A and B are shown apart, each in its own frame.
Chain A
Amino acid sequence: MNKRTAERRWILFFISPALAVVFVIILLPLFMSLFNSLFSWKQLIRQDFIGLENFRKVFFTEPYKTRFFNALKNNGLWFIITMLIQNVGGLLIGYFLSRRVWAHEFYKRVIFIPVLFSIVAVGFLWSLYLRPNGLVNGFLKIVGLPQLTRAWLGDESIATFSIIFVNIWRWIGFPSLVFLAAIDNVPMDCLEAAWLDGATDRRVFFKVILPLIVPSILIITVLTIIGSLNVFEQIYTMAGLDGAPNFSTDTIGTLFYRTAFGSVDSGNPEIGIGSAIGVIIYLLTFLASVASIVGLGKKEVEL
């Protein structure tokens, strides 16, 4: 009994520094912004308690409503496209790497390299490449496709897709490696049994490999949801805080920053509304995480 309390004390002693850091850096600001979101603000000074009024404004009144749902729609777009292209692509790359295609060690490294780059550097360089007279349009002209040149980051209808593409370019190595590791972990006897029974590669992939790597797929999905909700740096470096052009690249991250802190060229801070948006981002992320933990738990039992 005594030994157990001593043990507990030691455990507490060792985790307390980490807990303190988590409390000060994560929990405290979180509750501060929740607190701030319940008040009206006169510029930078907190005024009266107004309950959920700021949240009501974000959801139901102009102009906040239009901006918020426009931004949320873009976050949705980020999620869907990232899932479809980055994660499906990552799965295929992972599969081919696991089949030990020629020079797979080389490919593995090359594909993973951009993951190590800083987001800001990637955003800045790609915004140079995507300029009207940048590398991308130059390349299109050289290969004889001048009709495909576009203002990649200036055209409302494609700006978001351009930025998502850049992010996929940067990040696709990550799901690829996760799926590669998962596929490599599929027990050899399962595969051998399937092959002995005369199953084609395609059949083996869909009927044996895919069901066995579901936990990895779930983890990547959850990370994609969280990543899509928190998109900020990519927009900030490539399109600016205003989600230019014409709010077409706005996400709740940039909307939050702009509302809470103001942007130099076009606005004053509205801390109450900004905090409310911050809390909404937190809640959405929290729900996604809870759903994932529940979902993951179930899948593990199945295995």
Chain B
Amino acid sequence: MKKAKWLFALAIAVLMALPLAAQKTELTFWTWRPEDTEKYEKLLATFEKQNPGITVKISAFKNTEYNTILSAALSGGSGPDVFQSRAYGGLETFAQSGYMESLEKWVPELKNFNKDVLRGATSVKDGKVYGVPFASQTLFVFYNKQIYKELGLKVPETWDEFLANCAAVKKAGYQPLANGGKEGWTLEVMMGSLCPNFYGANDFYDAVVAGKTTFQDPRFVSAIAKLKELTPYMPDLYMGVSYTDMQSAFINETAAHFIGGSFEAGYFASQNPKLDFDVFPGPTAKKGDPHYVSIYADGNFSMNAASKQKETAAKLLKFFAGKETGDFFIRELQQVSAVPGADTSASPYITKVLSFQKYSTPYIFLVGFRYNQPTGSTLIQAALQGFLAGKIDAAEVCKQVQEGIATYYEPFKKK
């Protein structure tokens, strides 16, 4: 009898506890930006306030180890409910392995996103969208306004003006360009910033993706050859200059230009608040031509296909697709948010970057050719190192890239 009473009490306790437990759901969220964890916590606090009963636990992993850790967790059947995912080829790996939930039905807001940016969250295999894009990146040239003012220089429009500025800066004893070539990817960025205006931006991109032309097209070869004209203005022994050397040369105001991506601005500003810098798009051959910039989607927020609480996870993703997150990316992270209609008034820099995007072209090897090994990026990075070191010429660079991609890229095989 006594036992029954106890059981009854226990049952009531359990019944009372159940709704409480149901109310408090915990989502897990992974990011590859340990340096931004505190800022993300602030953003997610807003989400938790709007959705009482849901808490979000953030785990951050080092950028370079993130993919390995994430793929181990997902293939083991665990892993976070919502996670940052890479764009393009990096997305394909997880989407085609069946680890990502396609999001059209969960996040209808995706319809309003910029088509170019959404391409980074779309699988090329099945055309479904597997992520909410968070930022776009644009490649261009940073310059030190103080040095420009001191030497009375104007922002260059044409390639010749750019070279003339570099020469003037060199004469004054500054380093014209911060860029080096120890890490191949910084050379690919340089190519993406400067070459589209010479290879014919979108015309060439569309033709080469369709297999109507190759990378040995004279337009592309001559665009690559242009990069060699910059070597007199690069640092001494530039092939040994690493990414961190480049950053410190620009931050310490010893270099006047830094050819890079929109993602640098936040770091520049935080490392040297007194640094007075601005940006200009890659110079053109003729005055008055439109200045094309390479853009790409940086990454996405995705949902684990094996998540046990998809409805709740969808709430978080809708929040990530909303204006609050968009404003947060611009205000806190100084990133060009992918959310349509985000408020850019807080940042003249981002307003300027968005104005460059009027003439945008896909960052060619990342967007078009990073789906199989050897990726276009691998090939161009190594070949550009050989080129700038003077081991091979521009025609050979393009030949190596073409032959490497042709080993798997169907539209090239027919030729």
Q: Return the CB mask of A223-245 against B: 1 if under 8 Å, else 0.
A: 00000000000000000101011
Residue with the greatest number of chain B CB neighbours at <10 A, chosen from A133, A150, A153: A133
- A132 lies within 8 A of chain B by Cβ: yes
Counting CB contacts under 8 A, is A81 at the interface?
Answer: no
Q: Please report the C-alpha to C-alpha distance between residue A44 and residue B385 in the assembled complex, in whole angstroms.
A: 31
Q: How far is the CA of A13 from the CA of B415 in the complex (A)?
A: 66
How many residue pairs at the A-B interface have CB separations less than 8 Å?
137
Verify A151–B375 contact, CB threshold 8 A.
no
Contact: A45 with B97, CB < 8 Å?
Answer: yes
A245 partner, pick from B63, B74, B94, B181, beta carbons under 8 A: B181
Is A215 part of the binding interface, using a Cβ–Cβ cutoff of 8 Å?
no
| Across-interface contacts of A155 in B (CB, < 8 A) | 239-240, 389
Nearest B residue to A61 via CB reads B407
Contact across chains for B378 and A43 when beta carbons are under 8 A apart: no
**Contacting residues, chain A, for B92 (C-beta < 8 A):** 43, 268
Cα–Cα distance between A128 and B245 once the two chains are bound (Å): 10
Taking the complex as formed, is A89 at the interface, i.e. its CB lies under 8 A from any CB of chain B?
Answer: no
The interface centre, meaning the residue of A67, A131, A153, A268 with most chain B CB atoms within 10 A of its CB, is A268
Q: CB-CB < 8 A to B322: which residues of A?
A: none
Among listed A28-36, A172-180, A206-214, A256-264, interface-contacting one: A256-264
Contact of B240 with A132 in the complex, beta carbons under 8 Å: yes
Shortest Cβ distance from B287 into chain A, in angstroms? 35
Per-position binary interface string of chain B over residues 283-323, scored 1 when its CB falls under 8 Å from any chain A CB and 0 otherwise = 00000000000000000000000000000000000000000
Interface size on A, residues (CB 8 A): 39
* Residues from chain B with Cβ under 8 Å of A130 in the complex: 240
Given A245-B385, A246-B389, also A268-B236 (CB < 8 A): no
Q: For A268, list chain B residues within 8 Å (CB).
A: 89-90, 92-93, 370-373, 375
**Bound Cα distance A244, B188 (Å):** 13
Instruction: Known contacts A42-B97, A62-B407, A268-B371; decide if A156 and B386 are in contact (CB<8 Å).
Output: yes
CA distance A273 to B408 in the complex (A): 15
* Minimal Cβ-Cβ distance residue in B for A149: B237
A152 contacts B240, CB within 8 Å? yes
A149 to B236, CA, bound (A): 10
B7-39 residues at the A interface, CB under 8 angstroms:
none
Judged by a CB distance under 8 angstroms, whether B68 is at the interface is yes
Interchain nearest-CB distance for A156 vs B (Å): 6
A138 near B: Cβ within 8 Å? no
How far apart are the CA atoms of A244 and B383 in the complex, in Å?
10
Complex CA gap A156/B66 in Å reads: 30
Q: Is the CB of B97 within 8 A of A267?
A: no
Is A247 in the interface zone, CB < 8 Å from B? yes
CA distance A133 to B381 in the complex (A): 24
Whether A245 lies near B389 (C-beta < 8 A) is yes
Q: How far is the CA of A103 from the CA of B241 in the complex (A)?
A: 41
In the bound assembly, the distance between CA atoms of A16 and B89 in angstroms comes to 45
Is there an interface contact between B185 and A266, defined as CB atoms closer than 8 Å?
yes
Say yes or no for A270: interface residue by CB 8 A criterion: yes
Whether A242 and B382, one on each chain, are in contact in the complex, defined by CB atoms closer than 8 angstroms, is yes
Question: Among the interface residues B235, B236, B242, B382, which one has the most CB atoms of the partner chain A within 10 A?
Answer: B382
Does B64 interact with chain A (Cβ within 8 Å)? yes
Beta-carbon contact of A42 and B96 below 8 Å: yes
A127 CA to B243 CA in the complex, in Å?
Answer: 13
State whether A156 and B184 are in contact (beta carbons under 8 Å apart), knowing that A45-B98, A264-B64 are contacts in the complex: no
Known interface pairs A154-B240, A155-B239, A245-B239; A264-B386 also in contact (CB < 8 Å)? no
Answer yes or no: A76 CB below 8 A from chain B CBs: no
Q: Mark B161-201, 1 if CB is under 8 A from A, else 0.
A: 00000000000000000001111110000000000000000
A265 partner residues in chain B, CB cutoff 8 A? 184-185, 377, 381
Kindly list chain B residues whose C-beta atoms are within 8 Å of the C-beta of A45. Answer: 96-98
**Known contacts A131-B245, A268-B372: does B67 contact A246 (CB below 8 Å)?**
no
Q: What sequence of 0s and 1s flags, for each residue 374-394 of chain B, a beta carbon within 8 Å of any chain A beta carbon?
A: 110110011101100101000
Chain A residues with Cβ under 8 A from B184's Cβ? 242, 244-246, 265-266
> Contact partner of B378 among A42, A137, A156, A266, CB < 8 A?
A266
Contact A259 B183 (CB under 8 A): no
Q: Which residue of B lies closest to A152 (CB)?
A: B240
Given A247-B382, A267-B373, A153 and B93 touching (CB < 8 A)? Answer: no
A17 interface residue (CB < 8 Å to B):
no
Give Cα A268 to B375, complex, Å: 8
Q: Does B238 contact A (CB under 8 A)?
A: yes
Q: Quick check: is B99 within 8 A (CB to CB) of the other chain?
A: yes
C-alpha spacing A132/B375, complex, angstroms: 30
Contact A63 B93 (CB under 8 A): no
Answer yes or no: B71 CB below 8 A from chain A CBs: yes
Interface residues of B in 239-255 (CB under 8 A from A): 239-242, 245
In the complex, what's the smallest C-beta–C-beta distance from A248 to chain B, in angstroms?
A: 8
Q: Is A131 a contact partner of B407 (Cβ separation < 8 A)?
A: no
CB of A123 to closest CB in B, whole Å: 13
Q: Note all chain A residues with C-beta closer than 8 A to B86.
A: 264
> Using Cβ atoms and an 8 Å threshold, which residues of chain A touch B372?
268
Give me 15 A-to-B residue pairs in the complex whose CB atoms sit less than 8 angstroms apart, sorted by A's number. A45-B98, A131-B241, A132-B180, A132-B238, A132-B240, A151-B182, A152-B240, A153-B182, A154-B239, A242-B184, A245-B239, A245-B386, A246-B383, A246-B385, A264-B66
For the complex of A and B, list the 10 residue pairs with the smallest distance between their C-beta atoms, beginning with the closest.
A151-B240, A154-B240, A154-B239, A132-B237, A151-B237, A245-B385, A44-B97, A266-B377, A266-B378, A246-B385
User: 4 more A-B contacts (CB under 8 A) besides A154-B389, A266-B370?
Assistant: A44-B99, A151-B241, A268-B92, A268-B370
